[in-house]
Structure 1
Amino acid sequence: MTRLRILHLSDTHILRSGELHLGTTDTRAHLASALAHLQGIGSLDAVVVSGDCSDDGSRDSYEFLSAQVGGFAAAHGATPVYVVGNHDDRAGFTAVLGDGVGGVVQAADAPVDALASITGHTFAVLDTQVPGRDYGQLDEARVRVLAGAVVAAGAPVVLTLHHPPVPSASRITHVLELVNPGALQPLLATGLVRVILAGHYHHQLSSSFGGVPVHVAPGVANVVDPSAGYPAHVTRPIWGAQVVTVRDESVDVMAIQAGSDGPANALSDDLMQRIAAGSGPADWLERWKDPAP
């Protein structure tokens, strides 16, 4: 029996030293606190950061992330895996993190897709970024190329991308979802994908897509509280993570959340609508009017 154990983090939103996320949160302190809290988690095979690694795209932010996550991963016998999210800057990401799995990237502004072999599994990384926007989109030609590489590798696959292929529990992130999740079909058709790991929503979510388990990690920068209701977007100043264990017969997820008891932050309807209009797809208004999924 094989076993693959992954620490799944997402949405670290690291900024230049001294700057605060949304003017309130020291994301460097949140990441350091999370990793300190998780020190006793035991041996791991991989530490995945599934997008929005940086909030400002600065080299400083990526270097801090690399030092913190890379050091933690090394101490736990794990390989770090980084994914491009909508807030990431591809040039800054690749200058420090390469292709996210230890390889070098020549075209700094190109989409960052990658493959890595870790503990008998293939980690397939897909870049869903639409530059200058917050919603996600898949390039079908790139998905087919990755599917071919996955088949050639012949190992069970952990697919990692930032935008989940399943609906969000919040209206603003519903507007900013992955607009063409069906483009994943060539990968799913290989029959090799065991689990899909994603972020973006900042709230814990377990679902399935095309018969494959999907696990969305809560944010490290903050955690969205879905109990506030679909139209609202309320974040709490805590961090979250998942420990994902892939076995021959199952995929098990342990969710962990901890952090400050500070006040929640609610985005106003006006601000959310301006974000949707400025960062959403062409049909953002239709999505805005959708009922809760």
Structure 2
Amino acid sequence: MGNTFCLFCGCIGQSHVAVVERWGRFERLAQPGFNFFNPLAGEFLAGLLSTRLSFLDVRIETKTKDNVFVQLLCSIHYRVIKESADDAFYELQNPQEQIQAYVFDVTRALVPRMTLDQLFEQKGEVAKAVLDELEKVMGAYGYNIEHILMVDIVPDPSVRKAMNEINAAQRMQLASVYKGEAEKVLQVKRVEAEAESKYLGGVGVARQRQAITDGLRENILNFSHKVEGTSAKEVMDLIMITQYFDTIKDLGNSSKNTTVFLPHGPGHVRDISEQIRMGMMEATSAHVNTQ
């Protein structure tokens, strides 16, 4: 039910307090429920006050210590103290403007001593400072400040854009570091794999040459024993010439369009065999000397 009144009585709704005057002077507070008034004795209802929780949003524009203009959206929750409703009725004509003025005063004194980062980190402290000041001041006027919330902090659009660009640049720098480290690892692994491949290739070539040498030695010995009157030198020359002609044949049968110029003739074949023989003799001599 709402508030209803007649000449001698009235019904005051819940969460309301009525101010009763007598001959123009404050007489008493009428609590919620049915109340009698005596207009013959000069009593009449001067006004009503709501004791519900009220909200006031205040937007403050100020500057931080690092010269950044910001807008702060502050939400104040307050209510009338029932026992001091007469002070709230008579002392303040516009309580919202009074609260707003004190919020401006406290925030514009505190925020300029903080940087923008500190303001974001310590916005709870700003709200607490505003709450302490308002409780001390508005309590004398019959108002109780329940909560103060620092809802939003909005820097200038150009500052927000710059902050986003700085954040993006830092993330790109970090990504570049990780990418460089990954490429470094891949490069090291690639070099290690190449080195391992070359090592294994060298081992394979060495084993191949060892097998060829062993095969040639065995062929030379068998041929020398089976064919009388032949020496190891003659058998070696015959094998070298055979290998030489096989190589020429392989080059001719190759499908690639490759031209190779080689000196060819009996003298050149003899020179090649002499070079091979000398190389093998030097290798054998070096092997004996090391033993």
TM-score (ref. length: structure 2): 0.18
Higher RCO (C-alpha 8 Å, min separation 6): 1
Structure number with greater Rg is 2
TM-score (ref. length: structure 1): 0.18
